[in-house]
């Protein structure tokens, strides 16, 4: 490396000019950065400036003046070429490029400059922890990159393969310190157990920063066979309904039968009652007064005889005979009938006198 620098410096010295290498340097905050200032001109003082501020002064006769622990120098000069290396031990972050200047006094060329870009590598983590999901489920992962500059490049790795950019979304915001906070969202279908990684990097980083979680995919749970439960439930309900229906029909039939018996009994009682409700005249059929004979009344004495009979009836009130007689038994029927006939005879006898 130093041989190449010296060769370059010799070429530049032949051309008689001051040269600063590299012209552009990009490093991470806190990293070392090296610059080489070479010239074939005679100089008394070499000054190094960073961002417009003098950070180092070198005397041609005495070497570096002063001491700064964050800065070191190395003299690579030869007889015909002056080469000094500046080493920044701890590069400080700045959101803008910092100008590095090598200035020689006195010289007609004056100075040469380069640009220093210091980047910030922040934190990275997947918000989810290790997951265990069923096969076929849609899983979402969130990767958060905080405190980066410039905006980090975020990517995903699943099962050792890079995920297509179309399968995840990344958004970034810049805070008051000019640092970027990025969030990337990955949605994927769980097919097999694997490791999911989120990567983030900036151009100055020699390697990416990563965060990973384990995704465990398990076989989907066998859905409960509700068919059996439904079948059993339906069967039990059917049996209960049939039992209730049978009981209802049984009691209904029993009530119907009882009602029918009551109706038959009522009908028989009504028929019996009707059959027993007979007038004395129907029961006796005109055979009660066996001594009764129709008398031959002449037309002349008919009026007188009628008047006598009416007067006799008004004076003597015969016992009243009921029109309807209810018999509770056959024997009682005969006895009552006999007594009724006797009474009827008496009545007939009185009415005919």
User: What pLDDT is recorded for position 97?
Assistant: 93
CATH of the domain at 87: 2.60.40.10
Output Rg (C-alpha) for the chain, integer angstroms: 68
Q: Do 312 and 205 fall within a single domain?
A: no
Confidence of residue 76 (pLDDT cuts 50, 70, 90): very high
The pTM assigned to this predicted structure is 0.56
Q: Do 115 and 214 fall within a single domain?
A: no
Q: Do 229 and 312 fall within a single domain?
A: no
User: What pLDDT is recorded for position 105?
Assistant: 85
Q: Do 111 and 162 fall within a single domain?
A: no
Question: Looking at the chain, how many residues does it have?
Answer: 353
User: What pLDDT is recorded for position 326?
Assistant: 47
Q: Do 104 and 143 fall within a single domain?
A: no
Q: Do 207 and 300 fall within a single domain?
A: no
Q: Is residue 182 helix, strand or coil?
A: strand
Summarised one tens digit per residue, pLDDT across range 107-153 is 766 889 999 999 999 999 999 999 999 999 999 999 999 999 999 99
Find the range with the poorest average confidence among 16-20, 101-105, 328-332. 328-332
User: What pLDDT is recorded for position 173?
Assistant: 95
User: What pLDDT is recorded for position 337?
Assistant: 47
Find the range with the poorest average confidence among 15-19, 98-102, 181-185. 15-19
- Count of Cβ atoms closer than 10 Å to residue 353 Cβ: 10
> How many structural domains is the chain composed of?
4
Q: Do 196 and 184 fall within a single domain?
A: yes
Asked if 325 contacts 276 with a C-beta cutoff of 8 angstroms, the reply is yes
Q: DSSP for 137-162?
A: -EEEEEEEEEEEBSPPEEEEEETTEE
Tell which of 77, 98, 119 closes a domain.
Answer: 119
Summarised one tens digit per residue, pLDDT across range 237-290 is 889 988 888 888 888 787 877 766 666 565 555 545 455 544 444 555 555 555
Range of the domain at 328: 280-352
User: What pLDDT is recorded for position 114?
Assistant: 95
In a domain, 275, yes or no: no
In a domain, 49, yes or no: yes
Q: Which long-range contacts (CB under 8 A, 24 or more apart) does 127-133 make?
A: 128/213, 129/213, 130/213, 130/214, 130/215, 130/216, 131/213, 131/214, 131/215, 131/216, 132/216, 132/217, 132/218, 133/190, 133/215, 133/216, 133/217, 133/218
Q: Do 8 and 111 fall within a single domain?
A: yes
- Residue 80's Cα: distance from chain center in Å? 81
């Amino acid at each position: 490396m130093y041989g190449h620098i010296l060769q370059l410096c010799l070429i530049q010295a032949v051309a008689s000019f001051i040269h600063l290498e590299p012209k552009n340097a990009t490093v991470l905050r806190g990293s070392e950065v090296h610059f080489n200032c070479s010239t074939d001109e005679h100089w008394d003082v070499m000054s190094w400036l960073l961002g417009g501020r003098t950070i180092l002064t070198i005397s041609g006769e005495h070497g570096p003046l002063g001491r700064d622990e964050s800065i070191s120098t190395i003299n690579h000069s030869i007889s015909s070429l002056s080469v000094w290396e500046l080493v920044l031990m701890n590069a400080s972050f700045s959101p803008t490029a910092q100008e590095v200047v090598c200035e020689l006094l006195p010289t007609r060329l004056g100075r040469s400059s380069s640009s220093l870009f210091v980047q910030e590598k922040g934190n990275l983590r997947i918000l989810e922890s290790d997951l265990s999901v069923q096969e076929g489920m849609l899983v979402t992962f969130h990767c958060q990159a905080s405190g980066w500059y410039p905006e980090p490049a975020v990517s995903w790795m699943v099962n050792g393969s890079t995920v297509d950019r179309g399968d995840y979304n990344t958004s970034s915001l810049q805070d008051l310190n000019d640092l970027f906070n990025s969030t990337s969202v990955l949605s994927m279908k769980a097919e097999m157990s694997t490791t999911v990684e989120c990567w983030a990097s900036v151009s100055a980083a020699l390697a990416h920063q990563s965060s990973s979680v384990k995704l465990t995919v398990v076989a989907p749970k066998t859905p409960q066979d509700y068919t059996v439960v439904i079948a059993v439930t339906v069967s039990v309900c059917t049996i209960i309904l049939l039992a209730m229906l049978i009981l209802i029909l049984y009691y209904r039939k029993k009530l119907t039968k009882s009602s029918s018996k009551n109706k038959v009994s009522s009908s028989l009682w009504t028929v019996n009652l009707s059959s027993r409700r007979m007038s004395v005249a129907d029961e006796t059929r005109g055979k009660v007064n066996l001594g009764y004979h129709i008398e031959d009344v002449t037309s002349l004495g008919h009026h007188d005889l009628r008047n006598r009979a009416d007067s006799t009836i008004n004076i003597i009130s015969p016992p009243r005979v009921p029109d309807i007689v209810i018999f509770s038994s056959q024997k009682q029927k005969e006895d009552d009938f006999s007594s009724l006939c006797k009474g009827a005879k008496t009545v007939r006898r009185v009415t005919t006198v």
